Structures are given as structure tokens and as C-alpha cells.
């Protein structure tokens, strides 16, 4: 007997650790300030907190807070250069896909 569309078996999408991780990453990217930081970093790939703050017209303290949160969630890595911290965009599948969504941010 043929199966009707109402009887079709669909794949289950349970709430698991990977779904929760993706939701957290998207939530972080959804903040307007962090989205502006991403626009900047997709263009320049790496910069100091001061450079990013100047470009966004915000305080170093505010940008530093957002960058730390993004670093803690895998968006960026850091390198110390003298007294300055340089943030670098992580080249991952997630950031590449996110860049496609955010590309028109100039």
C-alpha cells in the first residue's frame, strides 16, 4: 500500500549539545554590537581592541567585553603583541557560513 504524505517518516531533531551550541553561537552573533564587530572582522580578519573600538565609535572597555565573550565561544583567538592584544577571526565552517549572511554590512 502506498504511503501518503501524512504517513511519511521524518528525521527526528532532538535537542542535543550540538543544537544548543549552534543556538548559543547564533544568539551571540545576533547582538547589534557583536554583529558590527563581525562585519569589521570579516573585512580585516585581525585587529586590536583599540582599532575595533575606534572603527565602531565605542569605548575600548565595551568592545573588550564583547570580544572576550566572542573569544570564549570560538569566534576569535588572541595574540599578545607588546602591550596590545590582537584578536584574530577563527577560520571555521561556522564563521564562513556566518560571513555569507553578514557580507553586506558595509
Mean pLDDT for 27-39 is 93
Q: What is the dihedral of CA 71, 40, 86, 88, to 10 degrees?
A: 60
Q: pTM score, two decimals?
A: 0.81
Cβ partners under 8 Å of residue 80, min gap 6: 86
What grid cell was written down for 25?
Answer: 553561537
pLDDT one-digit tens code per residue, 74-105: 999 999 999 989 999 999 988 888 888 887 65
pLDDT one-digit tens code per residue, 47-83: 999 999 999 999 999 999 999 999 999 999 999 999 9
Amino acid at each position: 500500500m502506498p504511503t501518503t504524505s501524512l504517513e511519511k517518516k521524518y528525521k527526528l531533531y532532538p535537542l542535543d549539545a550540538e543544537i544548543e551550541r549552534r543556538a548559543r553561537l547564533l544568539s551571540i552573533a545576533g547582538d547589534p554590537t557583536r554583529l558590527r564587530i563581525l562585519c569589521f572582522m570579516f573585512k580585516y580578519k585581525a585587529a586590536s581592541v583599540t582599532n575595533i573600538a575606534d572603527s565602531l565609535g565605542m569605548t575600548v572597555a565595551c568592545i573588550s567585553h564583547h570580544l572576550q565573550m566572542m573569544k570564549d565561544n570560538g569566534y576569535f583567538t588572541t595574540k599578545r603583541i607588546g602591550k596590545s592584544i590582537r584578536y584574530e577571526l577563527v577560520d571555521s565552517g561556522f564563521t564562513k557560513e556566518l560571513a555569507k549572511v553578514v557580507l553586506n554590512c558595509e
